[in-house]
Amino acid sequence: MKTIKSMMEHLYWANGHVLEALEESKTKDKDLLKLVRHVAVAERVWLSRLQRKGSAQYSLWDETDDLSAIWTMFQENTEQYRIYIEELEESELDKMIDYTNQSGVPFQTSVRDILLQVLLHGQYHRGQINRALRMESAAPSQVDYITFARL
């Protein structure tokens, strides 16, 4: 549990750093903003599944130019994940969650694997976002776990 909690704290921290880098870059790249919004919405989708709520109302790939709305989504996600993780017992990590994906296909996945998906999915896309920032000659954000761990 300690590792998952630490990795989740890194996720919140890294999301904030990427958003700051996007703000500083003043990017208008719609694909880049769509990608960062995708990360926020995907976090919300997985949290809904963990809470045994539906996720069909979420659209993963909508376009946006509103970075402040994305900030708000990430802040809400952080608050809700912190509550969820704080109440989660280690014995519940292997509990299976039944859910339907965004295409309506049913699946069953453990809490542990869902949390790992959230963590790894975000890190993958933050790397893509940093690459896109570099291509725009903007400063990328240092979001490696070790940077967070050294704080």
38 is in an annotated binding site: yes
Q: Is 10 exposed, middle or buried (0-12, 13-18, 19+ CB in 10 A)?
A: buried
Residues 126/14, Cβ–Cβ less than 8 Å: yes
Q: How far apart are the C-alpha atoms of 133 and 43, rounded to whole Å?
A: 22
Q: Would you list which residues are annotated within the binding site for a divalent metal cation?
A: 38, 121, 125
Q: Would you list which residues are annotated within the binding site?
A: 38, 121, 125
